[in-house]
Amino acid sequence: MPYLCEWLGGPKNYSAQRGHPRLRLRHGGFAIGEAERDAGLACMRAALVDVGATPELQSALMTSFFKTADWLRNTGLSASPTPSISTTPKESS
Ligand code: HEM
């Protein structure tokens, strides 16, 4: 919780207690692949629903959680990972 408060722009209590978050390092002892990423994200979604977060807040936070959770994957990475979003520039009309 202190981490999320800080991550969302609140008081820096997490850093005061634990130092720099170093998320990749702190998650390094746990195998996180796509399944673990998605299971974690499902828990985060359930927690947001539990606390009554609005759909707009859920989607904003889930987008950010996804980016961080995907970056935390440390197992099952393919040699040439396929991005989950399109990298093709949109055609101008
Ligand atoms: C969705 C996939 C994720 C998985 C499977 C996962 C798993 C874990 C595990 C196993 C721990 C260690 C718990 C312990 O030491 O008892 C942990 C800690 C932590 N995770 Fe995640 N995590 C995920 C995503 C995230 C995301 C998206 C964030 C940030 C937005 C995050 C932030 C943290 C923080 C701050 C800690 C505590 C680190 C510390 O101070 O020791 N995690 N996570």
| Top mutation candidate among 6, 34, 65, 72 for ligand 1, by most atoms within 8 Å of CB | 72
What pLDDT digit, counting tens, does each position of 63-75 carry?
999 999 999 999 9
Q: How far is the CA of 79 from the centre of ligand 1 (A)?
A: 25
Place of tokens 């998320």: 23
Cβ of residue 61 lying under 6 Å from some atom of ligand 1:
no
What is the pTM (predicted TM-score) of this model? 0.83
Q: CB of 23 closer than 6 A to ligand 1?
A: yes
Give the tens place of pLDDT for each residue, 17-75.
999 999 999 999 999 999 999 999 999 999 999 999 999 999 999 999 999 999 999 99
Q: Hey, how many other C-beta atoms are within 10 angstroms of the C-beta on 83?
A: 7
Query: What are phi and psi for residue 50, nearest 5 degrees?
Result: -55, -40
The response to whether residue 40 sits with its C-beta less than 6 Å from ligand 1 reads yes
